[in-house]
Structure 1
Amino acid sequence: MHLKLNDESSPSAVARTTASTSGRSSWDGNDGSGSGSGSGSRPDSLLTSSTASLQPQEPEEYTRRSGPGLLLFPGTAQRNPHNTTGKTIAKANDDNGTINQTAPVRSIRSFRRPPLWQPPSKDPRHVGPGLEEQDERPDETARDRRGACLAKVQAFIIEFLQGSSIHGFIYLAKLGLNFIERMLWFAFICVALFSIISLSKRTWHRFQTSPMVISMDRNKLVWNTSFPSLTVCPHKRIDELKVEEYILTHPEQFESEEDQEDFRDFIVKLASLTYDNLETLPLNKSFGIPSSKYLDLLYELKWPFEPEISSGAAVKMFIYETQTEFGICHSVNSLVARYNSFDYWRSGDWSLMDHGDRVTVHPLDGEIYAQIINLSTAYDVYFHGAGDVPSISKQRYTFPESDYTTVELIALEIYTNEEARAFNTKQRSCRFNYEAEDMLTVPIYSFGLCLSECRLFFALRVCGCVPHFYRNRCGYNHIFGHRVRNGRKLPVCGLEGIGCLVKIKREIISLKSDKYKINCNCLANCDDSNFFVQSYRSRVWFLGANLQWGIIDYPKMQLRRDVLFSFADVLVYIGGLVGFFLGCSALSFTEIVYYFTARFVRRMFFN
């Protein structure tokens, strides 16, 4: 556009310019022409040629598209429905210079509103010169979508940090902070989180390993005391008449008198065999008896030991025959002895039996004694609790067959509170008798039975067999609350296996070894009784061996296993740590869950 104006500031030039007005403009952008006479034109819609020449030039297509975007103030140009060309011809005569200008009709006081976003034009003229741009359009669209998604995620995280009630998070997204300040606050938050996690792990470890405390209760008039249980193992276990009858019925196994004498010695020592005297058993000849029949033969040839029992307690006591690590014995006031009876093993039974309640006494009952009469032989005695069995590692007492013996004991009991039943065995460090999930030979738990089973599997691992005084069938377990047995039968040690047991008998007794790894994982009974012999006295008795035992001095103290650190204490302790280091509460964690679930979905997919 070339516009030549000479002496613009002179009045004559202004007059000439005003007099030479010859065009009329239209709002719709249509072409139109006018002469200097201006016939048929309206004065309020005329623009001078100099004014029209000052308007910016725009392409016709753009003018036609962007016309509705114009905003007009009062006093601006009006629409002219008669002008349909959208063009204005302006003529100006200044020093013989004439300018013909085509431009859109716009007011000096008009401005353009920013255009709204529109999808890219599909006009082929707007596509690049090559076909590669058309091929790259899907990739560019995917990148745009990923970029938009990342932008939404970033905006969501900033919104969460700025609105979170956790102390310190707001400074990670607060405006006006530089990079160093943000990193400093980030470091403070990391230190706080590390402190919370490390201290919380210690708290949780304490809750898992030692949440219980053992306290002393001295109110002796409140509780009852268990009456001492005992196991009597007679020294005489083989009936000579039955042995002679066995020899007569099996002449093929005994070729000479020497064989018969060796058999008598062999069967007597086999009946009394325990870990202490393994080396005393003759290992030169088995007399054609397989090792799996050892226990059957011992019960076939056993001596009839039938003692009688009487007591001054209100509850009647029973005596049960049981198989122990010391051979065939009899237990009094025991809740687990019947599970080791030969009849129970031979029947293949795994069910729980109704053994009744344990016998208890009270200080107001006075002196309570129980008595076993008609023993007729020397015997060994093991004192233990009602829920336990004798162990080879505990002390035993031996009394002759001609004495009347009186034993006085003192008791120390530990009782577990009912609240502790909600904790697992690792937390309590004890087991109740019904928690026998890990037992493989009996359906009930006791500390003594667990030790016996540990010795059994240690012998099986080292020597490949188990002694005959154990149950040679295992596989008891729990599946969905039902008892199932797989019928696995364990090999019984013969003469060669017993020779192997002789070499490791010290490790078996102590369950400690430098060569073998032994891990019994046996926990104490939650309700346990320990008895200690305070005094005993014996005198010669012409009616045979009798045993009397009881409690003279009732315990003045009882141990109680109570809950010291419950799950509520864990929540309070960890909550205090979180509140101290980050200043947040349970609602703050609820806020986090809400933000990253419902609000996140709403922001990403529905906003």
Structure 2
Amino acid sequence: MYKSNEIEIRPRKATSQAAFRKDNYWMNQTQVETSPWYEWDTKVFNSHDKPPQLSGYESFNKDLRDYLQTSTLHGLRYIGERKLTWFERFFWLAAFCCSVICAAFFILNVYHKWRSSPMIVSINPQNMHLQDLPFPALTICNVNQAKKSVAERYISTGSSLDKKLLNSLCATQRDADIFEDDIAESANWDYTRSFLINVTQPCNEMLAMCLWDSRSMNCQDLFNAQLTDEGLCCTFNVVHRDNMFRNPRDLNDLNLTFPLPSVDWTPEGGYPADAPPDGFPWKPKGIGTNHGLTLILDANIAEYYCASTKSMGFKILLHNPTETPNIAKIGEIYGPGIEARVAIQPRILDAQSSLKDIDVKKRLCLFSSEKELVFYRTYTLRNCEMECEARSMLDRCKCVLYYMPKNKSTRICGKADAKCYSNVKLTAQSDSEASCDECLPACNEIAYFERLSTAPLNKALIGQYSTILLNRTPDYFTENMLLVHFYFEDNTFMRFTKGEIFGLTEFLSNTGGLLGLCMGFSIMSVVELLYFLTLRAFCMARRRKPTHPFLK
């Protein structure tokens, strides 16, 4: 009986305990043990506990310590290590600062080198082929300023103005000292040009024979008369005036003829892709004298009246086909009575297109698209200097000399302007550096130099030129004639290329190497720093933000 009563009471007790736990559910929830949701600095919070609120300084200090202890930069984890003493931390801080200073010092040196000398000239491994290069332009002048027979006729029967013009060609005096004011007005350019053409040896008399690629050709088909600073000269293989000047119809110059077809060749662009093989300016046909230009020039010594030099012969200049020659100052002198072989040696300079991103003051050269000349279509240093001299003369004297670039509206200086242009010539050397400082070398240019070898002519060995000897004796030939061969001796030529000594890639490589050597710095170090400053800071701020579950 006792046992049965005990069995009846136990269920009743269990039911009351379950009801008690159900009624006090919310009170017992705080005592339920759950797994922690967050660990921070060895402190464990339950899922229903709020993280402790930190001040701004404490929060920054904690984030900074986390960054120092986890950073990949060398030495920073020792600075943030709590187990080390303050002296040890200061030691590592000083070491890290010294590394930063050393890296900054070397990086500044690299940057200074990059900015001060960004360009380097190197040898291009790809040589230029002979067929991609034009034959040089030639300008030939007889140093004789006036034919003796014409000069004597002017002296005997000419006017006083003709005599003074003749005196100005031969005398060492300035034109301003020769021409008086009353007669200078009559010596305008039209009169002076006619005088120069009459008194100077014409091209058809100077050029006795012309051979191009071993083929005898009419010299008048190869050469044009041109007025230069040396007087009336003869030019070969210059580009067509439509490709030389911007407004060729506005020029006031001699009538010129050019072979067809004409090609728009430039040192920077070269020959167009659709250029015909026989396009003008002509290309060399091969190497050796048999594929070059052979000329027989007649100095006609008996007609010498006065010369621009102390000797007899010719001034010859090899130049770029797109340039106007400045032959008086830099022309080479060739005497008569010799056979000369002139091996042409081009100097080819080109530039990488990446140089356009470098300041002009640093690279010291210009591309054609960066500076447009007024008269010339192609930018070269000599063309720019010619325009600069003409502009200076026009500003001071309101006229230009006859061989300078000009158009029909530009007044050509006459002898009445002699005093002005004589003074400009005297000061040209000192003023050129100041007034023509905008003229820089072209980034792409071609210049021609010669290697000369000569030997005297022998009258017993000139029988092959019987066509020339019909009207001349062998003695006249050996005393007055110059036999000269212009030719190339190589099929390929070395190119010098201007490029960047330090590009952006090289600068970053040097900078990254120095930072890695001194600090262990890399691109991921930047990502790491950005992470702690942005993403981690934002996430930690959201976690530390107080929550109120019953408030909206």
Task: Give your verdict on TM over 0.5.
Answer: yes
* Correspondence 1:384 to 2:347: no
Q: Specify the alignment match of 1:531 in structure 2.
A: 450
Of Structure 1 and Structure 2, which has the larger fraction of its residues in helix? 2
1:170/1:409 CA distance change after superposition, 3 Å: farther
Q: Specify the alignment match of 2:329 in structure 1.
A: 393
Query: Aligned pair count?
Result: 429
Q: Specify the alignment match of 1:446 in structure 2.
A: 380
* Counterpart-to-counterpart distance in 2, 1:259 and 1:157: 105
Given that residues 225 and 361 in structure 1 are in contact (C-alpha distance below 8 angstroms), is that contact kept between their aligned partners in structure 2? Answer: no
* Counterpart-to-counterpart distance in 1, 2:413 and 2:538: 73
1:552/1:494 CA distance change after superposition, 3 Å: closer
Given that residues 139 and 316 in structure 2 are in contact (C-alpha distance below 8 angstroms), is that contact kept between their aligned partners in structure 1? Answer: yes
1:72/1:370 CA distance change after superposition, 3 Å: closer
Q: CA deviation at 1:428?
A: 6.7
1:279/1:553 CA distance change after superposition, 3 Å: same
* Counterpart-to-counterpart distance in 1, 2:496 and 2:132: 16
* Correspondence 1:499 to 2:419: yes
* Counterpart-to-counterpart distance in 1, 2:326 and 2:156: 37
Q: CA deviation at 1:282?
A: 3.0
Of the three residues 505, 514, 539, the one matched with 1:577 is: 514
* Counterpart-to-counterpart distance in 2, 1:232 and 1:548: 13
Q: Specify the alignment match of 2:211 in structure 1.
A: 311
Q: Specify the alignment match of 1:368 in structure 2.
A: 292
1:364/1:548 CA distance change after superposition, 3 Å: closer
* Counterpart-to-counterpart distance in 2, 1:191 and 1:359: 60
Q: Specify the alignment match of 2:348 in structure 1.
A: 415
Q: Specify the alignment match of 1:326 in structure 2.
A: 230
* Correspondence 1:193 to 2:103: yes
CA deviation digits over 1:384-429, x for unaligned, max 9? 2334433443144266xxx676432233322346x73543477776
1:198/1:281 CA distance change after superposition, 3 Å: same
Structure 1, gaps ≥5 residues long? 1-44, 46-67, 75-112, 119-146, 245-256, 474-486
Q: CA deviation at 1:358?
A: 4.5
* Correspondence 1:554 to 2:489: yes
Given that residues 391 and 448 in structure 1 are in contact (C-alpha distance below 8 angstroms), is that contact kept between their aligned partners in structure 2? Answer: no
* Counterpart-to-counterpart distance in 2, 1:151 and 1:466: 82
Q: CA deviation at 1:446?
A: 2.7
Q: Specify the alignment match of 1:284 in structure 2.
A: 180
1:70/1:180 CA distance change after superposition, 3 Å: farther
Q: CA deviation at 1:231?
A: 0.8
Of the three residues 218, 225, 233, the one matched with 2:141 is: 233
Q: CA deviation at 1:161?
A: 5.8
Secondary structure of the residue aligned to 2:98 is helix
* Counterpart-to-counterpart distance in 2, 1:453 and 1:300: 25
Given that residues 409 and 533 in structure 1 are in contact (C-alpha distance below 8 angstroms), is that contact kept between their aligned partners in structure 2? Answer: yes
Secondary structure of the residue aligned to 2:422 is helix
- The residue type equivalent to 2:102 in the other structure is A
* Counterpart-to-counterpart distance in 2, 1:153 and 1:391: 78
Q: CA deviation at 1:167?
A: 3.6
* Counterpart-to-counterpart distance in 2, 1:427 and 1:182: 42
Q: CA deviation at 1:221?
A: 10
Given that residues 289 and 485 in structure 2 are in contact (C-alpha distance below 8 angstroms), is that contact kept between their aligned partners in structure 1? Answer: no
* Counterpart-to-counterpart distance in 2, 1:263 and 1:306: 26
- The residue type equivalent to 2:213 in the other structure is A
Of the three residues 132, 137, 159, the one matched with 1:261 is: 159
* Counterpart-to-counterpart distance in 2, 1:269 and 1:70: 129
* Counterpart-to-counterpart distance in 2, 1:299 and 1:151: 94
Q: CA deviation at 1:444?
A: 1.0
1:166/1:392 CA distance change after superposition, 3 Å: farther
1:460/1:287 CA distance change after superposition, 3 Å: same
Greater relative contact order structure (CA < 8 Å, 6+ sep): 2
* Counterpart-to-counterpart distance in 1, 2:333 and 2:366: 28
Given that residues 226 and 529 in structure 1 are in contact (C-alpha distance below 8 angstroms), is that contact kept between their aligned partners in structure 2? Answer: no
CA deviation digits over 1:122-174, x for unaligned, max 9? xxxxxxxxxxxxxxxxxxxxxxxxx96x9988877776666554445556666
Secondary structure of the residue aligned to 2:448 is strand
1:194/1:573 CA distance change after superposition, 3 Å: closer
* Counterpart-to-counterpart distance in 1, 2:164 and 2:60: 86
Given that residues 212 and 561 in structure 1 are in contact (C-alpha distance below 8 angstroms), is that contact kept between their aligned partners in structure 2? Answer: yes
1:429/1:224 CA distance change after superposition, 3 Å: same
Task: Tell me how large the CA RMSD over aligned residues is.
Answer: 5.8
Given that residues 203 and 234 in structure 2 are in contact (C-alpha distance below 8 angstroms), is that contact kept between their aligned partners in structure 1? Answer: no
Secondary structure of the residue aligned to 1:444 is coil
Structure 2, gaps ≥5 residues long? 1-19, 21-25, 33-47, 254-261, 266-279, 305-312, 460-468, 544-552
Q: Specify the alignment match of 1:354 in structure 2.
A: 264
Q: Specify the alignment match of 1:212 in structure 2.
A: 121
- The residue type equivalent to 2:181 in the other structure is K
* Counterpart-to-counterpart distance in 2, 1:115 and 1:605: 14
* Counterpart-to-counterpart distance in 1, 2:338 and 2:246: 29
1:587/1:527 CA distance change after superposition, 3 Å: farther
1:502/1:73 CA distance change after superposition, 3 Å: closer
Given that residues 393 and 510 in structure 1 are in contact (C-alpha distance below 8 angstroms), is that contact kept between their aligned partners in structure 2? Answer: no
User: Normalising by structure 2, what TM-score?
Assistant: 0.56
1:578/1:72 CA distance change after superposition, 3 Å: closer
Given that residues 227 and 551 in structure 1 are in contact (C-alpha distance below 8 angstroms), is that contact kept between their aligned partners in structure 2? Answer: no
* Counterpart-to-counterpart distance in 2, 1:491 and 1:601: 77
Kindly report which structure 2 residues correspond to 1:113-124, keeping only aligned pairs within 5 A, or say none: none
* Counterpart-to-counterpart distance in 1, 2:78 and 2:341: 76
CA deviation digits over 1:235-294, x for unaligned, max 9? 5689x99xx9xxxxxxxxxxxx99982322455577x699x8754773423757599x63
